[in-house]
Chains A and B, each alone.
Chain A
Amino acid sequence: MADISFILNGTGVTASANLSDLPLVDFLQEDQGLTGTKFCCGIGVCRACTVSVRRAPGAPPEVLLACSTPLSQMAGLEVYTVESVATDGMLHPLQEALLKGFAFQCGYCTPGFLMAAITLWDRLKAAPIPASALDAAIDQAIGDHICRCTGYVRYYEAIKQAILNEGGLVS
């Protein structure tokens, strides 16, 4: 079996073939030192481990659950984790909205919510939707996520406000 190569936060990485059944989250945390992607349930329910991927250059972004995706399925993908979102110390508008909106508490679920919202954001950049459909789109993006500290309301509010403030994401 060949080694597994994919793009991680814009840089090519290669995993040994004998790690093919290693969950992506373990590879990120233990081999790449990227601990921002969180392990929680390990079975793909809570979505704390959500990352954003593109299956080909220019393809629409989609979410992927790093705890239940083995490296064998990563070949050729572009993977983006929470560590990639802020650039030069400047936060993405979604990060700033979550921060200013007191959206999270312990913060362990935050990277998962953020990457789901970033994925939605990037899709809306490419294909805006009517403003009337935004609530449903946000619900589709984060509705299955689990946060144990908050009641989710501030997550919803912050993400919605950031999208509306950006302009061009909804029509």
Chain B
Amino acid sequence: MKKSPSQCFGERNTEGTTSSPSIAIGPQSGLSRRSFIKNVAGAFVTVNVFSLASGIAARASEGTWEPPLGRDGWMGPPGVANARIDGYAKVTGQKIYARDYHVSDMEGWPGTEAPVMIIRAINVDDAFIGLDMSMLPPDLRPERVIYGEQVEGKVELTNTIIHDQHLDQVEDRMRAAQKKRLESGSSTSETEGITLPGDFMWPFIVPRGAGAAFYGQPVAFLIFKDRATYLGAKKKIQFVDSFQQYGAPVKDPLIPPLSPLTNYVRVAGDGPEDTFSYSQNGYDDNYNEEANNYRRQIEQAIADNTASSTWKAYGSDFSMQAMDPMFMEPESGLGWYDASTKTLNLVVGTQSPDGDIGTLLGMFEDSEISVSTVNLFSCYPGGGFGGRDSSVFTLNLGIAAVMSGGSPVRLAYDRFEQFQSGLKRHACKGTTQVAFDTTGKVQALTSNMQFDSGGRRNLSPYVAQLAGVCAGGSYNIPLSAIFSEALYSTNVSGGSQRGFGGPQAYFIIESLFDEAARDFSVSPFDIRRTNITGPGDRTVVGGPITQSLQFGNILDMAEADPIWQNRAADRARWAREGLSYGVGFAVSNQAYGTSGDGVLAAVAMDAEGNFTVRTNAVDMGNGSATTLAVVIGETLGANAERVELGNADLWDALQMQYGSKNGSWDDNNWTPKSVGSSSACLTAFHQVHAAVESAKALFDCGIFPAAQALWGAGANDLKPSDTAWVDGQLTVKAGGFPGLTHKQLASQIMESGGVSSVLGHAYFQETWAKGTFSVQGTSHTWGLDGIALTYGANNSFTPNYRTSVVRTCPAASSYVRTVFAPCGNLIGVTVDPRTGDVVMRASASFLNAGKIHVEGLVSGQSQGGVAMAMGWTLLEDMPPGPEGPASGDWNLNRYFVAKAKDVPLDQRLITLTPEGDEKTGRGIAEAVMCSVAPAISNAIYDATGARMRDLPITPQKMREALNG
């Protein structure tokens, strides 16, 4: 008998909302399952989401297993986690990653799995002709070879630019748009009416006779009958270039910069309002024309004032290499298309289950292949960092599944394949000039950045956009002109890597500030004190800063830190070993979230009084599951027993509309944005808000009414605020009523058909939208704009639309970012003048993370950010083109990431105490990383006098710099 994957977790079945799945995964499997219906081009598709990454701690409540950390296992008192909720499974090696699963684990799946090998383009100059199968002996040949032309009509591209329009016409119009843009400095190519490429602008598989659009684009899928054949064939053809055959040269595709382009020009006014800025003028019809006029004025002001010695300007070119996220689990998954029931089954670990399902279903619109049901098994990703956000992997798995002839397939990249195909951090080139007056006050900045997006768009233009926000650093700059764009190339695609453009932008501005400090003969802290931004100032976009940033405290703490105070002694000590020692400092003001974020969470109470939190988000290791489990503790008197992740069905259960084309705030079932991909920086503030507000709603309209009923008529006048949780019981602060256990309350809810769970959606854009809802005749207001409820033991959600809403500020839509997690990094390095080796010796990070939910998670994220950034700065290098990982023969023997021994144990994280009434966390996953590279570079300058502007800072570059 085949094992169910969930048997490893001992999960309970929490059957879903609408319909039963059509495959044979029965209740005995214990899988968490939820279902919903999607309308795809007029056809209804049932999507069943099975959360393999859910409720790992649930065994404790089943009474069949004694958790290792005491009665409550990972769980501490309400609001406290003693360990990760997923920690026991991870430290005992349980099956939780997609790579852990095989067809033999999948109940109801037929036969054995067919391994899939994707052959990827190593030539983008010539037409792909085919594969030389003569290199494989007959017994090692694949059962099926899938070329690009064979999937046409079966899997549709979500963007049909190449098919819908004559390429020559497109190219002519693109050239015209490009020319106009360059002449005018216009930031948009859309003025010419061109439909710019979407996320997937090229065929999934290159058809024979056509040229590949980028290195690593699939040219064929090989489906083998079994593992032995697959492994045997792999030995014969992997790393053998001649297996792929190419013919005549092909024309280079001409693709304009990817939309949207980023053009932020700001001219501060004499008063609180700007003379001109994107946030103020961005909706003007002639914004770009006006912006470019101001840009020229700013450039002229810098030229004039530096010529007259009124200002001093510091500027240079910078370059940064692409970087592989190198998450530890190479992308892997299982797929099976059951033609008899038109059901597509997928086992994957993705950061974007909602988006992946949407894109996947889009592939089968108008397709010869009919898909009426999708069963998605969502696993814990073994790392992500953005590399699994809108990755093509899930789509490739889907293609292989429907093209296999009925066999279940397994697609499991090895590390070479992952390097060749996985999303990268963008290579970036930038030119920036920053001008100060004679007092050291920054007056003006111009910045121009280009990001190499590679062959697919992915989230590249938005990475460039956030880099534009970051280009002005953490400073109040009266005049700024920033242009940032993502450019198509034939390189492996870039994506939304940790930091999202921030590391590149901060490396530039923080290097230049250090240069200025040296020239002004002031400390790195003083030059920043003179210019640092804070509440009342505006960003380079023109948006107001309203949060407490605490940069003053960050600068004071860094200056007092032993790394800085003891630098002279440390310099002398290292000199005795023949090494040059220096200390560098840099700050960042990394934003978290996006320009507008929709998030959701469901909080449910079961008949035993235990709580479950469900979310569409996934936990890439950043601790979302643990955090969401404990943040409801204060409101509900207990932490969640289980957290279910990757629930792509929850949005649909709300039955809301979203997007400007489908309504407005006047419609009580509308919100600007549904949900986005999972991002580590969205947990502490955004996802936590949705969970806490949903917990409040559950308390207000479910638990409190149940308590009133149990307490009797004398409790009619009580308000929720009159109660408090004491030792696991709900009590009345003033006394007079008996304490009630969760079990008692749950029984009352179940018997009375009261509200047993709340699914809440929240929207943030500078502020949270606040909705008022009528529930069972009582009006409530929460930081939610939509809810759905379950009653009693009925698990089906019923939408409960709001009656009114306090909407977010309309102007905030143009602020781009409004919330920030400031951080300073103080780093000491040694440089070996003989070898050029740079070694990080000590680091201290000073972070404003707001309220800390789980300290162990925050410091772990911080230390990880330091290590990854150190690798990017000093170790990790990959050339573009066929010399890089696109060749298919790159691995960790030539791509060096920081090992345990490379990272100093003297890493300290100092988190700032929240100011005022700040009660929320801040998304910090990326914040610490952003200023590490410039801090290292500035430390190198302190040690050697060499200014390094080209990453990575390899020993060879260091030697060249030292030797002139």
User: Which residues of B are interface residues toward A (Cβ below 8 A)?
Assistant: 65-66, 68-69, 74, 82-84, 86-97, 99-102, 104, 227, 231, 325-330, 380-385, 414-416, 620-623, 854, 856-857, 859-868, 891-893, 897-901, 903, 905, 907
Contact = CB atoms under 8 A, between A and B. Distances in A.
Contact of A153 (B325, B415, B907): B907
Given A43-B893, A99-B87, A106-B327, A86 B907 contact: no
B415 A86 contact: no
8 contacts: A45-B893, A46-B328, A89-B65, A108-B328, A147-B328, A149-B622, A151-B864, A153-B863
A38 B860 contact: no
A119 B859 CA distance: 27
A146 B87 CA distance: 19
B7 to A, nearest CB: 12
Nearest to A151: B863
B72 to A, nearest CB: 13
A52 interface: no
Which A-B residue pairs are the 6 nearest by beta carbons?
A36-B93, A151-B863, A106-B621, A102-B856, A107-B90, A143-B901
A152 B900 contact: yes
Nearest to A90: B68
Contacts of B416: 42
Interface of A: 22, 26, 29-30, 33-43, 45-46, 48, 81-83, 85-86, 89-91, 95-96, 98-111, 114, 139, 142-156
Secondary structure of the B side of the interface?
Answer: loop
B6 to A, nearest CB: 15
B102 A40 contact: no
Contacts of B856: 101-102, 154
B91 A109 contact: no
Give the interface centre of A26, A39, A81, A114 by most chain B CB atoms within 10 Å. Answer: A39
A98 B91 contact: yes
B897 A110 contact: no
Interface centre among A42, A96, A153 (most CB of B within 10 A): A153
A8 B622 CA distance: 33
A40 B93 contact: no
Contacts of B859: 102, 154
Contacts of A96: 68-69
- Most central of B86, B623, B862, B892 by chain A CB within 10 Å: B892
Given A89-B68, A105-B860, A149-B621, A30 B94 contact: no
Contacts of B94: 36
Contacts of A95: 68, 91-92
A156 B68 contact: no
Most buried by B among A45, A109, A114, A152: A152
Contacts of A146: 326, 328, 892, 897-900
Given A43-B892, A48-B328, A148-B897, A91 B68 contact: yes
A48 to B, nearest CB: 6
B66 A148 contact: no
Nearest to B87: A99
B758 to A, nearest CB: 29
A100 B82 contact: yes
A150 B621 CA distance: 9
A144 B65 contact: no
Contact of A41 (B99, B891, B901): B891
A95 B74 CA distance: 13
A156 B863 CA distance: 12
Given A38-B328, A40-B328, A99-B87, A107 B903 contact: no
Contacts of B82: 100
A62 B96 CA distance: 27
